[in-house]
A and B are shown apart, each in its own frame.
Chain A
Amino acid sequence: MGGQLRPPAYSGKIPRWSEQTALLWSALTFGIMGKEPDRFNLPDPRGPTLKSIATTYNRGLHRFAVVLACWTFLLIIAGALVTSNDAGLSVPDWPTSFGSLYKIPRLVGGVKFEHTHRMIAQGAGLLTIILAIWTWRAEKRRWLRYLGIAAVVMVIVQGVLGGLTVKLFLPPPVSSAHAALAQTFFCLAVAIAVFTGQKWIEEQPRIEFDQRRPSLFTLTLLSIFVLYVQLILGAMFRHHGMSWWPHVVHAVVVSFVLAWTAIRALTAYPNVEAIRRPAILMIALLIGQVCLGFTAFLTRVAWGRDAVQPELPMVASTVAHVAVGALLLATTVILAIQTWRHVPVAFEERLPQAQRNPTTA
């Protein structure tokens, strides 16, 4: 009797806007523009919960997390510009730049891209450390405090990987790891921005149990997995570690899985805005990403094979492909988080069969 295990369905009216989740774009927008706090302080029909008592919204911390997420996105674009302009080794030393830790070299040629990338990366490291300290001091949720520490560890590892790419002359596995960890860190920064957002803290999740199989949550995890594989395949191709065809072939797999996930989300939970919005964004980004991938293939592989130097069309298309790829991965992660929150797997499905048949004492 699965129905007996379900909690009573929530039927209280919550204003539509408060159902919205702080997914990628809204998180960024709200963080910069802010929202009137009283709009979210409507009385909860269910009364106070442990969650709402334990955690209070910290506007400053949230905005700072949003700044870090935006800064990280900028850093990913700067890193993509380095690779697309073949400027990865234009500054031959690390951690110094031409022997100095603080002097800014003449920003011409490849140095312009490489050193700018290093400066933005230093800023990201500093922002991450500040965010971690702030979170540790101001945040009551222990798991979020540790998430801030994880971000610091990740940004340090990322910096070391960046240094290794210089020291080891861009070996494809190291460069690809640097690219993959960059997007992982971006996802983490966006997630922290979401978790510190006012909606996440103050809204009551509208819970609908997912009875379909595979569950939407499983599909979102599968989407993240195939996107990660695609990210590694793309990075290995971009860094001359493999041919282009695995990335192109796997794009079909990614398109299928992401379309399946988005369509499931939109058809099964059209009224859960926290699900609907990232699902729509995911499908839009997927279409854009496939088009950009095709353009990048034409400009870089088909037409640019014998190019004397990186040309504007190939740089623009490949950098856009990397940037939209990062947004797509982060959106999918947000969809997974919101699915986990709003559409959990029905409880009885988590119980072993033996425990579903209660015996009388």
Chain B
Amino acid sequence: MNRKNWITVSVSVLALSALLALGACSKKENTEQSSNATEQPAAAPAATPIDPATVATVSGTVKFDGTAPKPAKIDMSQDPGCKGTNEAEAVDVSGGDLANVFVYVKDGLGNRTFDVPKDAVVLDQSGCKYHPHVLGVMAGQTVQIKNDDPTTHNIHPTPKDNREWNESQPPSSPALEKTFAREEIMLPVKCNQHPWMKMYINVVKSPFFAVTDKSGKYEIKGLPPGDYTIAFVHEKLGEQDQKVTVAPKETKTVDQSFKAM
């Protein structure tokens, strides 16, 4: 190979390598938030009054079309302190009813503001699993995290829009109390000590949300009359929206179904 040829080959190899490296580095910016980002929301304006005499209720059932996937098996043998059921909850289908779907009013509330509930929402670690698997909470509302296992867990939310944190919680230690400042749907939470432990927190600005139970049912109460977009979000199956109009005092049934991916 003469000098010209080998220079051409070498330059080509270097250029290709550099191009790939450049592409790789620019692919994903660090999405991590500044560690000094506050979790405390700014002083909330007074809640927009809602006439309790006109409020409506939206309820329904979420179904799963098709053959439900078999629950994946979990191997908990790496920690003798873990004695939970060894099935993953990713797609929880029972008789065609789909559990763990987060249902919320995505659009239609305008500039209404709502009081943040004083009561904490409880997230329990038991049997080396999170209970519940999917949780809804208002921005600024306290999440109380308990450990009922005889082993240490670490709680590690990996948000896109909220502050990331990672804390360990030994057995019999006091509950952790945390808040999330910004709206974020399907915020993953995991335990790095037990890699099968995953759950999702949904942070919303309104109290109009619910999570489907084992029978696929949900209910959203106290909704003022109006035109809304109701979103149904599943951790694996994605999001589906429905537009609904609710009249004063109406009890509306809004069902939804997800197809197997």
Contact = CB atoms under 8 A, between A and B. Distances in A.
B30 A213 contact: no
Interface residues of B, number: 45
Contact of A308 (B28, B78, B90): B90
A90 B192 contact: yes
Nearest to B158: A169
B156 A89 contact: yes
B193 to A, nearest CB: 4
Nearest to B164: A169
A253 B13 contact: yes
Contacts of B24: 232-233, 236-237, 241-242, 246-247
Given A112-B78, A214-B6, A236-B24, A169 B166 contact: yes
B20 interface: yes
B47 interface: no
Given A213-B6, A222-B10, A236 B25 contact: yes
A273 B2 CA distance: 27
Nearest to B72: A308
Contacts of B196: 308-309
B43 interface: no
Contact of A225 (B14, B35, B88): B14
B193 A90 contact: yes
Interface stretch (A2-10, A102-110, A131-139, A189-197): A102-110
B20 A108 contact: no
Interface in A214-259: 214, 218, 222, 225-226, 229, 232-233, 236-237, 240-243, 246-247, 249-250, 253, 256-257
A168 B167 contact: no
Contacts of A106: 151-152
Interface in B1-44: 1-3, 6, 10, 13-14, 16-18, 20-21, 23-25, 27-28, 30, 32, 35
A241 B194 contact: no
Given A242-B24, A242-B27, A246-B23, A108 B74 contact: no
A225 B14 CA distance: 8
Contacts of B236: 306
A280 interface: no
Contact of A306 (B72, B192, B193): B72
Interface stretch (A44-52, A80-88, A338-346): A80-88
A241 B25 CA distance: 8
B1 A213 contact: yes
A88 B17 contact: no
Contacts of B30: 171-173
Contacts of B21: 229, 232-233, 246
Contact of A253 (B1, B6, B16): B16
Contacts of A109: 78-79, 151, 193-194
A253 B15 CA distance: 11
A53 to B, nearest CB: 40
Contacts of B90: 306, 308
B154 interface: yes
Given A109-B78, A214-B6, A236-B25, A250 B192 contact: no
Interface-centre pick from B3, B10, B72, B193 (highest chain A CB count, 10 A): B193
A168 B32 contact: yes
A62 B10 CA distance: 37
A307 B72 contact: yes
The B contact surface, by secondary structure, is loop
Nearest to A249: B20
Nearest to B24: A242
The A contact surface, by secondary structure, is loop
Given A246-B20, A250-B17, A250-B20, A110 B194 contact: yes
B39 to A, nearest CB: 15
Contacts of A309: 74-75, 195-196
Contact of A108 (B79, B88, B156): B79
A305 to B, nearest CB: 11
A89 B192 contact: yes
B175 to A, nearest CB: 17
B154 A92 contact: yes
Interface in A152-189: 168-169, 171-173
Contacts of B167: 92
A93 B13 CA distance: 42
A222 B18 CA distance: 13
B245 interface: no
B85 interface: no
Contacts of A171: 30, 32
Nearest to A174: B30
Interface in A298-340: 306-311
B55 to A, nearest CB: 41
Interface string A90-104: 111100001000000
5 contacts: A89-B166, A114-B192, A171-B32, A173-B25, A218-B10
Given A89-B166, A225-B17, A253-B20, 10 more contacts: A85-B195, A90-B192, A108-B81, A111-B193, A171-B32, A173-B30, A233-B21, A240-B28, A253-B17, A311-B75
Interface of B: 1-3, 6, 10, 13-14, 16-18, 20-21, 23-25, 27-28, 30, 32, 35, 72-75, 78-81, 88, 90, 151-152, 154, 156, 158, 164, 166-168, 192-196, 236
4 nearest A-B residue pairs (beta carbon): A109-B193, A90-B192, A242-B27, A309-B196
